[in-house]
Amino acid sequence: MSKPDSPYAITLADVTAAADRIASHVWRTPAINSDALQELTGRTVVLKCESMQRTGSFKIRGATNAVRSILEADAPRGVVTHSSGNHALALATAAAERSMPAHVVMPENASPSKRAAVVRAGAHVVTCGNSGAEREAMAAEVQARTGATMVPPFDHPWVMAGQGTIALEILEQIPNAGTLVIPVGGGGMLAGMAIAARALRPDIRIIGAEPELAGDAAESKRTGRRAPQRPPVTIADGLRTSLGELTFPVIRDLVDDIALVSEDEIIAAMRIIFTRAQLVIEPSAAVGVAAILAGRTGGNMNAPTVCVLCGGNVDLMHLPWSALPA
Amino acid sequence: MSKPDSPYAITLADVTAAADRIASHVWRTPAINSDALQELTGRTVVLKCESMQRTGSFKIRGATNAVRSILEADAPRGVVTHSSGNHALALATAAAERSMPAHVVMPENASPSKRAAVVRAGAHVVTCGNSGAEREAMAAEVQARTGATMVPPFDHPWVMAGQGTIALEILEQIPNAGTLVIPVGGGGMLAGMAIAARALRPDIRIIGAEPELAGDAAESKRTGRRAPQRPPVTIADGLRTSLGELTFPVIRDLVDDIALVSEDEIIAAMRIIFTRAQLVIEPSAAVGVAAILAGRTGGNMNAPTVCVLCGGNVDLMHLPWSALPA
């Protein structure tokens, strides 16, 4: 893991090691040049489709890197995490593949379909209260009881390094990428990708994209101090968490800017991706697209803007717009 | 157009000429290697995403080739067609781009949203009765009155040659393609692609995919005689037409087989594409996927199977399944 002389939790070497470790367990997702977004923005926009990733989100990268990093002696006691979303399914899947038990603490208000998917993937689900504090307390209790290794959703070197592998793939797929637009919740993906991309391409522009209603990353970057978690109100349910102790310093130092978008902009962008780019995405994945459409990501008009579509797990029976444009 | 010594309406040269003619007006669509379908079938399955094509379907290729083939002297009188679907929008769009009038005969029962899209694209919409005979009669009347050039939805050399360009792109994108799986309604796409693919790769396997409830192509191929149109009952509304006089001989001679799929198989395949491949497609585009999932497309397990997703214009508020799997 991180070298003593590095100011951050991980280095490029951790990300490249993660890429080797997870290569045969995760998918190399397509990077699609979107003619529709080019028409709308005048820019070359490439969509990195982690929405098509195994388990439906990028989270399988960090989860697999964590599961595969655990020592043989610790493996039988399994892993534990708290998550109501994509990280839970990813960790359950990665653990099952190494035949390790997985304990997933999920709040009472988690969606029944997500809970069922986690159970189907073979995890033991433990129900807890809905607050972040209750979730963390229950996860700690399960860890103490089972001796399982804690794999938190973002603030861990293994997880950050795994998510960072997205940047390695992008730079192979689009060597002349000018700007990376990356949704930010807890910051595991943004920090991991920033470590790798900044090391390989010091000149690249790195923009986090965040809902206004969950704008703690923008605030943290502006004030230089990690802002607290906000009430979970944004539709982008994957981005409701605040930055972590390990992700914040990377984002503070290596990310150029955080672009904020409104809820209406997120929904409009999601609809455009469904109806013009013909891709299924979840609301969190629309946040970067919304920032690009709003002209808030900047950068050179002539170099491709690459937007990470972070996940595609969405309830298709309840899309957040009431009717399609005629 | 076709050479005197060719038994078919078009040749490879017509398709390559069409490719040059339409290059700057249509999009080169992505060919996506689907890990999810590989997991389900054990085969390498590549999805050629005409669902992401301009106007949401491959029809813009044939329409543009037709519009761009009309002589300067005839251009001011415009084009006319009858179609309730993707061809109508494609022709309206292609004509508008050459500043030509477009007359589109649509049946009374065409969806209001499709009608509105055609009007927005600048076409004059003429309403007629719902039967094929009424549509053709009205289109002939409009043609007589306006002197517009008729551009039928599939049974025309210009249209067939334009649709055939999909095969050229696929063979550039996946040079080792083993099998092409192509939905068939009137057969413009299947015949056009067969002309090009068979000429360039005599050994390639070419499979049409058709709903059982609109199985006239399979029947025509079996009997050697063009079977009549069936009642329009399949959910795959783009495939309800019967083969044309020009498309049938090509399909009879150059296509290896027609794979039939049930309505349940179409809906299940569509759901898999939405929830596992994270792509938005219309029911007609699920027909080829259903044939592959059912194991009816055959071919070498080791060479990629390429499936054309022909369109992505679907009413997202009324997807044909009642609930997602938990």
A3 pLDDT tier (thresholds 50, 70, 90): low
| A-to-B residue pairs, Cβ atoms closer than 8 angstroms | 75
What pLDDT is attached to residue B325?
A: 46
In order of A121, A218, A283, A299, B296, the CA distances from A183 in angstroms are: 26, 12, 11, 17, 41
What pLDDT is attached to residue B317?
A: 87
B3 pLDDT tier (thresholds 50, 70, 90): low
Q: Are B124 and B101 in contact (CB under 8 A)?
A: yes
A27:B49 CB<8 A: no
Here the tokens at position B272 are 């898999």
Find, among A155, A286, A277, A154, the residue nearest to A211 by Cα: A286
Length in residues, chain B: 326
> What ranges make up the beta strands (E) of B139-278?
149-150, 179-183, 205-211, 257-261
From chain A, the residues in CB contact with B117 under 8 A are 326
Average pLDDT of the segment spanning A237-248: 93
Average pLDDT of the segment spanning B20-28: 97
A84 pLDDT tier (thresholds 50, 70, 90): confident
**To the nearest whole number, what is the mean pLDDT of chain B?**
94
Answer whether residue B136 shows pLDDT above 80: yes
What pLDDT is attached to residue A4?
A: 63
From chain A, the residues in CB contact with B54 under 8 A are 35
What pLDDT is attached to residue A120?
A: 94
CA B54 to chain centre: 14
Task: Specify whether the backbone of B316 is left (phi greater than 0), alpha (psi in -120 to 50) or beta.
Answer: alpha
Write the pLDDT tens digit of every residue in B188-197. Answer: 999 999 999 9
Average pLDDT of the segment spanning B155-165: 98
Which residue of A54, A116, A275 is in closest CB contact with B326?
A116
What pLDDT is attached to residue A131?
A: 81
Q: Is A166 on the interface with B (CB under 8 A)?
A: no
Answer whether residue A274 shows pLDDT above 60: yes
- State how far residue A313 is from chain B, nearest Cα, in angstroms: 8
What pLDDT is attached to residue A74?
A: 97
Mutation for B interface: A86, A93, A115, A278, most B CBs within 10 A: A278
- State how far residue B275 is from chain A, nearest Cα, in angstroms: 8
Measured over all CA atoms, what is the biggest interatomic distance in chain A, rounded to whole angstroms?
60
B324:A280 CB<8 A: no
Q: Is A248 on the interface with B (CB under 8 A)?
A: no
Answer whether residue B326 shows pLDDT above 50: no
What pLDDT is attached to residue A311?
A: 97
What pLDDT is attached to residue A109?
A: 85
Write the pLDDT tens digit of every residue in A53-70. Answer: 999 999 999 999 999 999
Cα–Cα distance between A207 and A229 in angstroms, integer?
A: 20
Neighbour-count burial for B255-272, b at 16+ CB within 10 Å, e otherwise: bbbbbbbebebbbbbbbb
What pLDDT is attached to residue B324?
A: 46
Answer whether residue A224 shows pLDDT above 60: yes
Q: Are B185 and B311 in contact (CB under 8 A)?
A: no
A312:B35 CB<8 A: no
ipTM entry: 0.93
Question: What does pTM read for this prediction?
Answer: 0.94
Find, among B174, B151, B170, the residue nearest to B100 by Cα: B151
Catalytic residue among A48, A59, A114, A221: A59
End-to-end CA distance of chain A: 53
**What domains can be seen in chain B, in order of their start residue?**
12-57+156-318 (3.40.50.1100), 60-150 (3.40.50.1100)
What pLDDT is attached to residue A112?
A: 85
What pLDDT is attached to residue A22?
A: 98
A324:B317 CB<8 A: yes
Cα–Cα distance between A158 and A67 in angstroms, integer?
A: 9
What pLDDT is attached to residue A326?
A: 38
What pLDDT is attached to residue A310?
A: 98
What pLDDT is attached to residue A2?
A: 52
Write the pLDDT tens digit of every residue in A27-43. Answer: 999 999 999 999 999 99
Mutation for A interface: B278, B279, B324, most A CBs within 10 A: B278
Which residue of B54, B274, B325 is in closest CB contact with A280?
B274
A325 pLDDT tier (thresholds 50, 70, 90): very low
Closest chain B residue by Cα to residue A314: B275
Q: Is B121 on the interface with A (CB under 8 A)?
A: no
Q: Is the dihedral of CA B314, B318, B320, B323 positive or negative?
A: positive
What percent of chain A has a predicted confidence (pLDDT) above 90? 85
**To the nearest whole number, what is the mean pLDDT of chain A?**
94
A284 is catalytic: no
Q: Is B71 on the interface with A (CB under 8 A)?
A: no
Write the pLDDT tens digit of every residue in B226-283. Answer: 998 778 789 998 898 899 999 999 999 999 999 999 999 999 999 999 999 999 999 9
Write the pLDDT tens digit of every residue in B69-124. Answer: 999 999 999 999 998 789 999 999 999 999 999 999 998 888 888 899 999 999 99
What pLDDT is attached to residue B318?
A: 87
End-to-end CA distance of chain B: 54
